[in-house]
Amino acid sequence: MSRDALTLCEECDLLQRIPPLPESAAAHCARCGHLLHRHRPNSIDRTLALTLAGLVLFIIANSFPFLSFEMQGQTTQTTLISGVRDLAAQGKGEVAAVVLFTSILAPGLQLLLLAVVLFPLRLGAGLPPGFPTLFRWFKTLVPWGMMDVFMIGILVSVVKLADMATIVPGTALFAFVALIFVLAAAQAALDPDVVWERVPMPANLRRMPAAGEAVIGCDVCELTVPEREALLDRRGRLRCPRCTDVLHHRKPQSLQRTWALVLAAAVFYIPANLYPVMSVTSLGRTQSDTIFSGVVFLLTHGMWPLAAIVFVASIFVPLLKLLILIFLLLSVQLRSRWRPRDRTRLYRVTEAIGRWSMVDVYVVTILVALVHLGNLASIEARAGAVFFCAVVIITMLAAMSFDPRMIWDALPTEPQPEHDGHPRAAH
Ligand SMILES: [Zn+2]
Ligand SMILES: [Zn+2]
């Protein structure tokens, strides 16, 4: 599959032509460095094979024992869903829903959607009905699948319980670990362009925009739409002629939404760190743990690499993310022209690191599922976990609602030789 098309960069809105790429080569934006396109050979076959393998692993991971907890002759056996069920039973339904969605539903639905779209394509039956919606859901779900973060949560939990009991991994755990890699490989093998190109389109949309003509980049299918060719819906909004999603020059109310979410997260950050996230009852004695005392526990037990991971993920990352977003928001509002490329990089960092903060939420989930032997030993989720979970989700939403193209809007518009601008090709 080769491609020679005009593309608007998602992150800085520069219009540029992507030359046909050799196998596995990637084209990056000439201005901000964003990955515009990577040529992935045999995309449909490889993605489908990995998806089917992933579905099998997903079923195993959800039907067999996940971890067992053995203490003084008593055994608790858990499955992947146990933690969700126990959190809900302890009145922490919000956290249970987030854990269910990020560790089970989002990865499972991604695999299902890929299979539903790619299987008919592979058989030569064309695209399934409702294809653009299915593929849009897939794209939306990707950042919410957090099995890799869950895995770190398992490691931390096992270390925490090592003094107290024996933890035995079950069949499902091995399938779960394999699934992390298979799903990542499926996402990496997928070239969405190859699929979108199968959507029949009128010839006038395939035309190159004239010099200086207004164009909008579709956020979903990444088609560069000349504004005159966009569809108009009943509410007067422009829609993409290929995927029918609403077209925006910029994410709607990006500044207001991001500010609102940043402030909400900053408020929740305080109780998230002050209140205990869980309480541990052992031999009749109850002790509460905040996020910080959890870090101290790991440190005093000589587990400094894990202590460092939890400290960075739970305390440092949310704060850093909020500070970076506030800095970016202010720089956009002051129409700063300072280092737009570096500010775009900072934005990418906030998008990439946010999900790792979920680690502590997963630790609480796993511990709650494993340890309930009444007065002998039991662990209960507390209010801090709810606030902390809210901080992670809200900061992720804040980063998603920020539009990095605003960083570039303050720069003087360059004369428009951009139609012939070639992005850097890198291997
Ligand atoms: Zn760019
Ligand atoms: Zn589209």
- What is the CA(10)–ligand 1 centre distance, in A? 6
Instruction: For residues 377-381, give the mean pLDDT.
Output: 91
CA 388 to ligand 2 center in whole angstroms = 35
The alpha carbon of 189 and the centre of ligand 2 are apart by a number of angstroms equal to: 21
Ligand that comes closest to the CA of residue 341: 1
Question: Residue 82 contacts by C-beta under 8 Å, 6 or more apart in sequence?
Answer: 66, 369
Q: Residue 125: its pLDDT value, please?
A: 85
**pLDDT mean over 254-282:** 95
pLDDT of residue 373: 83
Q: Greater confidence, 162 or 113? A: 113
**What does the pLDDT average to over 173-202?**
92
**Tens of pLDDT along 288-338?**
999 999 899 889 988 888 899 889 999 999 999 999 999 999 999 999 999
Q: Give the ligand at the shortest distance from the Cα of 205.
A: 2
Q: Given pLDDT bands bounded at 50, 70 and 90, which one contains residue 358? A: very high
pLDDT at position 159: 87
Flag whether pLDDT at 232 surpasses 70: yes
* Higher pLDDT, residue 236 or 183: 183
218: tokens are 């579709």
Cβ count near 163 (within 10 Å): 7
Residue 282 has a pLDDT of 83
Q: What is the rounded distance in angstroms from the CA atom of residue 176 to the CA atom of residue 399? A: 28
Which ligand approaches the C-alpha of residue 34 most closely?
Answer: 1
Angle between helices 383-401 and 340-353 (to 10 degrees): 140
Please write the tens of the pLDDT for every residue from 73-124.
Answer: 888 899 999 999 999 999 999 999 999 999 999 999 999 999 999 999 999 8
Q: Output 324 or 283, whichever has higher pLDDT.
A: 324
Residues that place a CB less than 5 A from ion ligand 1: 9, 11-12, 14, 29, 31-32, 34
Q: Residue 277 — φ and ψ, nearest 5°?
A: -90, -25
Query: Which pLDDT does position 421 carry in this prediction?
Result: 47
Please list all protein residues whose beta carbon sits less than 5 angstroms from ligand 2, which is an ion: 218, 220-221, 223, 240, 242-243
CA distance 49 to 67: 29
- Pick from 359, 427, 347: nearest CA to 392: 359
Give whole-number Cα distances, 29 to 18, 78, 210, 418, in Å: 9, 47, 21, 12
Ligand number, closest to the Cα atom of 132: 2
Q: How many A from CA of 220 to the centre of ligand 1?
A: 17
pTM of the entire structure?
Answer: 0.91
